[in-house]
Amino acid sequence: MTDIIVNIFSKLSLEVATVLLATLPFTELRASIPVAITVFGFSAIKATLLSFIGNIIPIFLILLFLPSIVRFAEKNSQLLKVFLDKYFRTLEKKYKYKYEKYGSVILFAFVAVPLPGSGAWTASILAVLFKIRPKYSIPSIIAGLFISAILVLYITRGGIVLFT
């Protein structure tokens, strides 16, 4: 699997590779900023800007298409309905109380802390699940990404200083 990803990314410009790496749900900007700086040799500003742009893309796609996909799956595929119900039920049990009470503020904090599983993808899915309107969820998630990008940048730069 890693070989396939490396092969695909090696055929792209480094800028496009950085944006795509930030767009993926399992890497987001938490991986794309360090890779862009340490592997691709980008400046901190270029790496952060490209990663930030790449990580914003899924927010709009998820908020735009996920509700329709869920409705379609519930109507047309019992297997998808079971999978989505289980996935959403798990997220709902874990986060429902917090989101009902604090909504978009929690989305901001959730994304701002650069931990695995707490990025824009999950926050966007939670916004759909808990019906937080895009006019509130989008600014909260983007603001959280901005803080997360700064934290990842400083962690990366600290790691470079520490290990060189």
Q: List pLDDT tens digits, range 51-105.
A: 999 999 999 999 999 988 888 877 887 887 788 778 777 877 777 766 666 788 8
Reference 50, options 35, 60, 69; nearest CA is 35
CB-facing half-sphere around the CA of 128: CA atoms within 13 A = 21
Q: Does residue 128 or residue 43 have the better pLDDT?
A: 43
What's the pLDDT score for residue 152? 97
pLDDT confidence bin for 24, thresholds 50/70/90: very high
pTM (two decimals): 0.82
Q: Would you say residue 37 has pLDDT above 90?
A: yes
What's the pLDDT score for residue 2? 60
What's the pLDDT score for residue 70? 80
What's the pLDDT score for residue 13? 94
Q: Which two tokens stand for residue 13?
A: 């410009």
Give Cα separations from 2 to 8, 12, 41, 163 (angstroms). Answer: 10, 16, 21, 25
What's the pLDDT score for residue 117? 84
Q: Whole-number mean pLDDT of the chain? A: 88
Name the region of 135 (left: φ>0; alpha: ψ -120 to 50; beta: rest): alpha
What's the pLDDT score for residue 76? 85
> Domain map of the chain by residue range?
2-163
